[in-house]
């Protein structure tokens, strides 16, 4: 192998320590990548691959492929690599190349990973970006997450046989972008599958040595202080281990102090409603099941926040519903006060509008990646605070007033930023011209020279003329002497002693003076010195802000919370929600409840409200029958969503509601997305059901939608019945259960099993047509109407008629009377799905509220459906 250049050797050494990252190697104005990194990057980023040092004839380097990107455009490239799951190690020149003797020193300044991006190009505004630390062994499970763009950190730990299930639920809750795992967690296939396949989380395995108690505790004390470390459990080491290793990893990759990571939230099992990933997805809390879109989710309905901080917090409220009546009441009372005081609410919302992302701006300032513009944005955000504080003080008491008292208006910081920086500073902080005029006399002087260099020379010329009486005195400039004073021979005797002769010309002399040389130096170096001085002042400002990081983050937290409360209040007013009574009664009682999302998705269609009553003893389990499309699933989800909304402190879509706190909501709904993972639908269904039966308590709410559907009728019916018996029986589970089934045979359980009640969703038949009334009524459905619905769905009439015949035969064989279906076998039915839909839509249309244009559109749409 031919010899490497010293620089290439330096590269190899650094690369050796960062094998799993793509190394961005700074060379002048470019980041260069070599070898495999270059191949990967050129493929992923569409860059041209070249080779280096051809002329030097060094065969080794000749073969090394390379590609590069301009350093100032690196953010976008890094974002693309991170999005594809790569890590990027950034290697900078750590000394001034001009001052370097020989090879310029270089070092890794930061490793960007999916869980540690701070650049806004890679981050979603209304969503936290978490990096998780996970510890799992035979006794304990520890879980921690940190969002380094905001500093927000959470940690918890579990023990006992269900520790891993709890751990998985926390992963579903926070959906981290990246996770560091101890060997015990990394070897757990179920956990890995959840992380990598379902959550699309980047996994880092760390060796066991990185999970050691004394070291972990030391790290935590350093980062969060002794008090925070003291609050962590001593009887379960997993909390400290998971958090300690995470902090370690963040320090290793970020190579900074992370001063803004200063608030630690330790929470215990039982503090928040636990939801497994299945329930989260089925209930479509933050995204829809199929499209993975926000539109159509509960968050979409509830999120009318005005700030990115509020949007992130509201999402986390949805991910973490509360279990404490008093904590819920605190939020709920605040929402109620905002609902009541329309003018104040509107004013607050107006004041919140336009507040920038203080949390992430502060994160970037601590990181040193913030520019003048970021600081001015922060100031603009701070400028809103005093007014908000005042508005909150006007509330009679309670949580809103407390928030106001807690809100640090940060006027001193806003003032410092405003005094230091111009209103609209340039992008770069390295080139000067962003410090406000009048802030620093030296900056003003340098800028004066910089902008007025010629003028200064002219006035010096005039002053010298005056002083010496030499009328022909001129100040000139050439490359050899710089500035000089020229005096013609006729005035030679008037030249003062302080003039130093430099050059003799035919008809005159050229001189310099100390003053002139000083000025020359000033003029020529003003630009550099101004840039350096302004940068220095900027770093001082940055330090002032860094020192106040806790205050800024505290104010940001108040803004975020207020924004969430205002959003919930605004939605409650707009959608006509009621304030629920939330208590420990164990009763769920909803009058005229509606599905919060369905009613918003189809605002022109009338949503039929329904009651729900579930008691501790009576009505503990409801068997809901009715044909497909009747509205069973909608009805059950609606109840679950209302419980959830009540427990985050929101109003609910109903006339009145009383919600007894529920510790967990479980769902088993429809076909799962796991087919791709190689499990059959039935297998998935049964796994989910067994998880539910194992983990649910008598305080849980169970939504079981058509259990047993994936297997043969008798198997399915038997399983469904056994499951329902288990859930409803107070000696076994005794949980509140909504149980939709197409086996209307199960309705026989009412009366034999205490607490079980039959309901069905009413339909009417008119001739061969089925009309959905959407109203839940007591009693079981008489039959399944499967054939009518199939016809509505457009199954060819020959098939429909044949099905009818077969059904009649089967029922006769079973000794039951055939239902009264008119047999008009040969008549071709024209009322396919479209007509049913048209009738449905007409019935629901609220003609009184339609504008003429909407009416015309509706008519057009109906007509189109018929064709
Ligand atoms: P099922 O589970 O009984 O098959 P779904 O709950 O899926 O029925 O509901 C079928 C359709 O009826 C859905 O498109 C839904 O939007 C609509 N729907 C359900 N309940 C109502 C209601 N109370 N008011 C208006 N439309 C409803
Ligand atoms: Mg359904």
Q: What is the pLDDT of residues 623-670, one digit of tens each?
A: 999 888 889 999 999 999 999 999 999 999 999 999 999 999 999 886
Lookup: tokens for 438: 């009048």
pLDDT band at residue 744 under the 50/70/90 scheme: confident
Q: Specify the CATH superfamily of domain 581-806.
A: P-loop containing nucleotide triphosphate hydrolases (3.40.50.300)
CA of 629 to the centre of ligand 2 (A): 7
CA of 636 to the centre of ligand 2 (A): 9
- Indicate the annotated binding residues for ATP: 626-633
- The CB of 607 under 6 Å from ligand 1? The reply is yes
- Kindly report the CATH number that applies to the domain delimited by 441-538: 1.10.1420.10
pLDDT of residue 800: 83
Average pLDDT over residues 432-458: 87
pLDDT band at residue 828 under the 50/70/90 scheme: very low
| DSSP β-ladder status, 581-583 and 656-660 | parallel
Residue 211: name the closest of 237, 189, 233 by CA.
237
**Statement: 6-112 belongs to CATH 3.40.50.1820:** no
pLDDT of residue 823: 34
Q: How many Cβ atoms from other residues are within 10 Å of residue 525's Cβ? A: 14
Ligand 1, residue 775: give the atom nearest the CA: 23
* 751-788 pLDDT, tens digit each: 888 889 999 998 888 877 888 889 999 888 877 777 88
Lookup: tokens for 865: 């459906």
Is residue 544's pLDDT more than 60? yes
Which neighbouring-strand residues pair with 88? 22, 112
| Probe residue for ligand 1, chosen from 634, 709, 786 as the CB with the greatest number of ligand atoms within 8 Å | 634
CATH architecture of 303-399+549-575: Orthogonal Bundle (1.10)
Is residue 824's pLDDT more than 70? no
Q: How many Cβ atoms from other residues are within 10 Å of residue 197's Cβ? A: 12
Average pLDDT over residues 9-15: 92
Helix (H, G, I), strand (E, B) or coil at 859: helix
303-399+549-575 has the same fold as 6-112: no
CA of 289 to the centre of ligand 2 (A): 14
Question: Cα separation of 255 and 369, whole Å?
Answer: 13
* 388-398 pLDDT, tens digit each: 999 999 998 78
Lookup: tokens for 60: 């080794």
Give DSSP secondary structure letters for 338-394.
HHH-HHHHHHHHHHHTT---HHHHHHHHHHT---HHHHHHHHHHHTTHHHHHHHHHT
- The CB of 636 under 6 Å from ligand 1? The reply is no
Q: What is the mean pLDDT of the chain?
A: 89
Domain borders along the chain are 6-112, 126-269, 303-399+549-575, 441-538, 581-806, 832-866
- The CB of 629 under 6 Å from ligand 1? The reply is yes
pLDDT of residue 678: 52
Q: Reading across the β-sheet that carries 500-504, which strands appear in turn?
A: 474-478, 482-488, 508-512, 500-504
- Among 186-200, 418-432, 453-467, which is the least confidently predicted range? 453-467
Question: Cα separation of 615 and 587, whole Å?
Answer: 5
* 559-588 pLDDT, tens digit each: 999 999 999 999 999 999 999 999 999 999
Q: What angle do CA 733, 738, 739 make, to 5 degrees?
A: 95
CA of 630 to the centre of ligand 1 (A): 6
Question: Cα separation of 773 and 68, whole Å?
Answer: 66
Question: Cα separation of 705 and 711, whole Å?
Answer: 15
How many residues does the structure list for the chain? 867
Q: Which fold has domain 126-269?
A: Nucleotidyltransferase; domain 5 (3.30.420)
Q: What angle do CA 834, 835, 841 make, to 5 degrees?
A: 90
* 140-163 pLDDT, tens digit each: 999 999 999 999 999 999 999 999
pLDDT of residue 527: 86
Average pLDDT over residues 26-40: 92
172 compared with 780, residue with greater pLDDT: 172
| Probe residue for ligand 1, chosen from 631, 632, 669, 841 as the CB with the greatest number of ligand atoms within 8 Å | 631
């Amino acid at each position: 192998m031919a010899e490497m250049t010293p620089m290439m050797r330096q590269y190899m050494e650094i690369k050796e320590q960062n094998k799993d990252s793509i190394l961005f190697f700074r060379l002048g104005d470019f980041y260069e990548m070599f070898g495999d990194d270059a191949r990967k990057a050129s493929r992923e980023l569409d860059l041209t691959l070249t080779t280096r040092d051809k002329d030097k004839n060094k065969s080794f380097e000749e073969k090394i492929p390379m590609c590069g990107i301009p350093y100032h455009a690196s953010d976008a490239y890094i974002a693309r690599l991170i999005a594809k799951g790569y890590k990027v190690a950034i290697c900078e020149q750590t000394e001034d190349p001009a001052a370097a003797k020989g090879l310029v020193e270089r070092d890794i300044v930061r490793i960007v990973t999916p869980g540690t991006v701070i650049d806004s190009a890679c981050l979603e505004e209304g969503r936290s970006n978490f990096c998780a630390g996970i510890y799992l062994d035979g006794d304990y499970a520890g879980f921690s997450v940190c969002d380094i763009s905001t500093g927000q950190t959470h940690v918890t730990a579990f023990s006992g046989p269900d520790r891993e299930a709890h751990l998985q639920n926390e992963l579903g809750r926070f959906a981290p972008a990246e996770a560091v795992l101890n060997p015990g967690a990394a070897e757990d296939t179920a956990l890995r599958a959840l992380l990598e396949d379902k959550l699309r989380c980047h996994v880092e395995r760390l060796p066991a040595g990185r999970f050691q108690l004394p070291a972990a505790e030391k790290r935590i004390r350093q980062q969060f202080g002794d008090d925070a470390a003291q609050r962590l459990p001593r009887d379960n080491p997993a909390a400290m281990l998971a958090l300690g290793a995470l902090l370690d990893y963040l320090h290793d990759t970020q190579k900074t102090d992370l001063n803004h990571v200063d608030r630690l939230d330790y929470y215990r099992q039982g503090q928040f409603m636990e939801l497994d990933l299945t329930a989260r997805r089925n209930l479509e809390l933050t995204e829809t099941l199929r499209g993975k879109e926000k539109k159509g989710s509960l968050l979409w309905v509830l999120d009318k926040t005005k700030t990115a901080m509020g949007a992130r917090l509201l999402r986390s409220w949805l991910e973490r519903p509360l279990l404490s009546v008093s904590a819920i009441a605190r939020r709920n009372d605040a929402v109620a006060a905002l609902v009541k005081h329309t003018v104040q609410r509107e004013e607050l919302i107006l004041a919140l509008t336009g507040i920038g992302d203080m949390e992430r701006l502060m994160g970037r300032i601590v990181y040193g990646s913030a520019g003048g513009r970021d600081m001015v944005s922060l100031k603009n955000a701070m400028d809103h605070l005093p007014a908000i504080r005042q508005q909150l003080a006007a509330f009679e008491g309670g949580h809103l007033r407390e928030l106001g008292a807690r809100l640090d208006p940060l006027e001193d910081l806003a003032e410092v930023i405003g005094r230091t920086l111009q209103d609209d500073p340039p992008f770069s902080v390295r080139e000067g011209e962003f410090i406000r005029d009048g802030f620093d006399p030296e900056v003003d002087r340098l800028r004066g020279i910089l902008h007025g260099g010629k003028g200064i020379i002219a006035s010096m010329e005039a002053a010298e003329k005056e002083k010496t009486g030499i009328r022909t005195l001129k100040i000139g400039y050439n490359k050899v002497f710089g500035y000089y004073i020229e005096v013609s021979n006729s005035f030679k005797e008037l030249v003062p002693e302080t003039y130093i002769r430099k050059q003799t010309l035919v008809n005159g002399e050229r001189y310099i003076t100390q003053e002139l040389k000083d000025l020359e130096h000033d003029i020529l170096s003003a630009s550099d010195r101004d840039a350096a001085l302004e940068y220095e002042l900027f770093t001082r400002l940055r330090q002032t802000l860094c020192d106040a990081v806790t205050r800024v983050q505290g104010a940001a937290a108040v803004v975020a919370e207020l924004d969430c409360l205002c959003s919930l209040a605004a939605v409650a007013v707009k959608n006509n929600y009621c304030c629920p009574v939330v208590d420990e009664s164990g009763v769920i009682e909803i009058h005229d409840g509606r599905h919060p999302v369905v009613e918003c998705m189809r605002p022109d269609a009338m949503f039929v409200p329904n009651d729900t009553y579930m008691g501790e003893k009576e009505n503990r389990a409801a068997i809901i029958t009715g044909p497909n499309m009747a509205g069973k699933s909608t009805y059950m989800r609606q109840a679950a969503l209302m419980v959830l909304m009540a427990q985050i402190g929101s109003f609910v879509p109903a006339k009145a509601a009383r919600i007894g706190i529920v510790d967990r909501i479980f769902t088993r709904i429809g076909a799962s997305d796991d087919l791709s993972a190689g499990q059959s639908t039935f297998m998935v269904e049964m796994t989910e059901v067994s998880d539910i039966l194992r983990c649910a308590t008598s305080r849980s709410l169970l939504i079981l939608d058509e259990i047993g559907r994936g297997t043969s009728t008798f198997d399915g019916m038997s399983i469904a019945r056994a499951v329902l018996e288990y859930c409803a029986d107070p000696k076994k589970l005794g949980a509140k259960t909504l149980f939709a089934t197409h086996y209307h045979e199960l309705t026989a359980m009412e009366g034999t099993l205490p607490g079980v009640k039959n309901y069905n969703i009413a339909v009417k038949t008119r001739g061969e047509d089925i009309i959905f009334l959407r109203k839940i009524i007591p009693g079981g459905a008489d039959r399944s109407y499967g054939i009518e619905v199939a016809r509505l769905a457009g199954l060819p009439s020959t098939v429909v008629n044949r099905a009818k015949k077969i059904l009649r035969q089967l029922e006769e064989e079973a000794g039951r009377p055939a239902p009264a279906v008119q047999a008009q076998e040969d008549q071709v039915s024209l009322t396919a799905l479209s007509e049913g839909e048209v009738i449905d839509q007409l019935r629901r249309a609220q003609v009184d509220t339609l504008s003429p244009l909407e009416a015309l559109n509706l008519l057009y749409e109906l007509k189109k459906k018929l064709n």
